[in-house]
């Protein structure tokens, strides 16, 4: 290390915006100690203002990180280094004293329910990455609230980052700036430290002007210290630390200690033609149509769906025993490919102003494009792919990255629920689990009771998707759609869910499982999906009201032959959609049993084991 650096190590960088001295002592210490460690050139305390946002966007344009999309109002396109395009599960870790605090100890092989790192290994990893990592850059201080500011269900975080892309995105995804700082006063906050890991001057040229350090990427969570430490990636889920890192991994651990639930769930309100309204929360793995369901245009006349959130729900029983949910986020970080006027008209109405697009294709007239956008290109308009190269359909690869994203303010969605920012949250009466299952799993079934419902969530399986780095189509276990996001031991997480049944006066929501993706022998979808899914929601709504009829099967209650409203739908084969094959379910039971035995091992709650045995017995009797 050059001698002049040593002398500078403890010099505080200049503060170019905001006042460090006015911050609560714990926040000031957090910023000062990390500034001394990371050695940025300057410190900028974000206020979240429009003026600041303009400056941040200008800086990115100047650095070549983003470009303005002339076709829309205040929309921007970022193209990343092709090595930095998704969450990286293999480099996402949780640090606890004992491995068993993070994941169950599997019978054989590695845990698929999270990645543990020892405190010693983390200490080494941290010390090889962070000293001097922000040299020549600005350290931005982002105070943010997850959840409406001042809500009893909300939590505050402070993220330190050297990425202006993170600042602009966090302004969309969270309530960020001065108001969050005021809400903090002297309270607790989650400490988030992020660096792209590219101190200046650069050792090697950037690709697409996108700073990242893929060789050293690490996303670490320290739940005991309420800290998140991320290095080397500028991409969404790895760098917008309020999102999966805080709102799921750290929050699920806080929720366990405080007696609530932090879940990978959309929240929607549904109103019937008589004006009665119910709220549902639904857990689907990434890219299984969660955003489409949250923003659905129902095909059923007189029904209305409104969106509270499309990705994360924080839920807590109130004193009356209602399960109250808030959406802790302030924006949508949605997968672009497959989003079209047909699949999600309300998303299309949301995303064409004040939005940051990442890794989509660009049209020569200053617009965006992706696979499944379902819009023909006007004559003479050409495409530049996410790799910044001219693109035509015979290129043999997609024009947009399969995990390309829009980052857009939730308030722009035309069907946001009037109560989406209500501080006390909305009352959840139904919980829906689901996944992408081409075979064997019926369109809809209902759990017999709460314990059975928790078992259904634990046994969720789905075709793997592009949102993580897995390749190809394989059926993967994804319990509660939380497999990549558990903040602590999954066995203990199940026990926590089961414990909700013992809360005094708790009005437990009904639990359902849906599968929009079942196919016939020709590989065609048996159910039209999208707006027609409202027919399934209608049945659930009426089940909660005690009005819809159902019949028990080996796996749960399914609608009776006439209970599902199919008026106006042609060619729906109910027999195939609801077929419960003994052969398929024997295999399914075997797979689930094996998974629990190997992966959850000694931490599997006995109630779940009991549900497993009961299902096995019922399948045998088919």
CA distance 567 to 524: 21
Cα distance between residue 84 and residue 217, in whole Å: 10
Angle, helix 606-620 to helix 582-595, in steps of 10 degrees: 160
Q: How far is CA 473 from the centre of its chain?
A: 20
Task: For residue 256, give the nearest of 89, 554, 541, 493 by alpha carbon.
Answer: 493
Closest by CA position to 316, among listed 185, 178, 425: 425
Query: Which among 398, 346, 333 is positioned nearest to 372, based on CA atoms?
Result: 398
Helix (H) or strand (E) holding 619: helix 606-620
Report which DSSP code applies to 301: T
Cα–chain center distance at 193: 20
Assigned token pair, 396 = 């043999």
Which three-class secondary structure state does DSSP give residue 228? Answer: strand
288 catalytic? Reply is: yes
Angle between helix 164-173 and 50-63 (nearest 10): 140
Nearest to 191 by CA among 229, 165, 224, 155: 229
Determine the Cα–Cα distance for residues 168 and 593; give it in Å rounded to an integer.
45
Which of 288, 307, 407, 413 is labelled catalytic? 288
Which residue, 499, 497, 529, is CA-closest to 515? 529
Q: Which of 246, 222, 240 is nearest to 94 (CA)?
A: 222
Enumerate the active-site residues. 288
């Amino acid at each position: 290390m050059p001698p002049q650096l040593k002398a500078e190590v403890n010099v505080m960088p200049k503060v170019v915006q905001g006042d460090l001295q006015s911050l609560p002592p714990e926040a000031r210490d957090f910023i000062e100690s990390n500034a001394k460690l990371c050695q940025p050139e300057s410190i900028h305390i974000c206020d979240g203002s429009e003026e600041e946002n303009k400056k941040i966007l200008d800086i990115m344009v100047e650095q070549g990180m983003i470009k303005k999309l002339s076709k829309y109002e205040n929309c921007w396109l970022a193209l990343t280094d092709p090595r930095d395009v998704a969450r990286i599960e293999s480099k996402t870790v949780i640090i606890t004293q004992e491995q068993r605090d993070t994941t169950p100890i599997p019978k054989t092989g590695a845990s698929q329910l999270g990645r543990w790192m020892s405190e010693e290994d983390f200490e080494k990893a941290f010390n090889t990455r962070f000293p001097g990592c922000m040299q020549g850059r600005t350290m931005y201080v982002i105070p943010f609230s997850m959840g409406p500011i001042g809500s009893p269900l909300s939590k505050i975080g402070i993220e330190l980052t050297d990425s202006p892309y993170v600042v602009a995105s966090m302004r969309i995804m969270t309530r960020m700036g001065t108001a969050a700082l005021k809400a903090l006063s002297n309270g607790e906050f989650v400490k988030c430290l992020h660096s792209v890991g590219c101190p200046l001057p650069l050792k090697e040229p950037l690709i697409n002007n996108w700073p990242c350090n893929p060789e050293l990427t690490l996303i670490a969570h320290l739940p005991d210290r309420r800290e998140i430490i991320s290095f080397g990636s500028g991409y969404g889920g790895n760098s917008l630390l309020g999102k999966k890192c805080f709102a799921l991994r750290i929050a699920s651990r806080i929720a366990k200690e405080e007696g609530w639930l932090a879940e990978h769930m959309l929240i929607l309100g549904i109103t019937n033609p008589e004006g009665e309204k119910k709220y549902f929360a639904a857990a689907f793995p990434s890219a299984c149509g969660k955003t489409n369901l949250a923003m659905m245009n129902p095909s059923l006349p007189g029904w209305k769906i409104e969106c509270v959130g499309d990705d994360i729900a924080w839920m807590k029983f109130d004193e009356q025993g209602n399960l109250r949910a808030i959406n802790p986020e302030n924006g949508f970080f949605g997968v672009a490919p497959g989003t079209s006027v047909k699949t999600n008209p309300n998303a299309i109405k949301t995303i064409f102003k004040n939005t940051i697009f990442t890794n989509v294709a660009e049209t020569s007239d200053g617009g965006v494009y992706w696979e499944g956008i379902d819009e023909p290109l006007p004559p003479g308009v050409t495409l530049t792919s996410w790799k910044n190269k001219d693109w035509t359909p015979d290129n043999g690869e997609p024009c947009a990255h399969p995990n390309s994203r829009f980052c857009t303010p939730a308030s722009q969605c035309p069907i946001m629920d009037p109560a989406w920012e209500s501080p006390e949250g909305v009352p959840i009466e139904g919980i829906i689990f689901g996944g992408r299952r081409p075979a064997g799993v019926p369109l809809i079934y209902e759990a017999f009771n709460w314990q059975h419902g928790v078992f259904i969530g634990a046994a969720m399986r789905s075709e793997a998707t592009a949102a993580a780095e897995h390749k190809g189509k394989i059926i993967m276990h994804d319990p509660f759609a939380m497999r990549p996001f558990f903040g602590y031991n999954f066995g203990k997480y199940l026990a926590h869910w089961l414990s909700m049944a013992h809360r005094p006066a708790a009005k437990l929501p009904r639990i359902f499982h849906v599968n929009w993706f079942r196919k016939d022998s020709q590989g065609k979808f048996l159910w039209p999906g999208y707006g027609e899914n409202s027919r399934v929601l209608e049945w659930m709504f009426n089940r909660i009201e005690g009005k819809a009829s159902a019949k028990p099967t080996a796996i749960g209650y399914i609608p009776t032959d006439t209970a599902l409203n199919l008026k106006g739908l042609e060619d729906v084969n109910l027999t195939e959609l609801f077929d419960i094959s003994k052969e398929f379910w024997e295999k399914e039971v075997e797979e689930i049993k094996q998974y629990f035995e190997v992966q959850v091992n000694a931490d599997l709650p006995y109630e779940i084991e009991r549900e497993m045995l009961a299902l096995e017995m019922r399948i045998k009797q088919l």
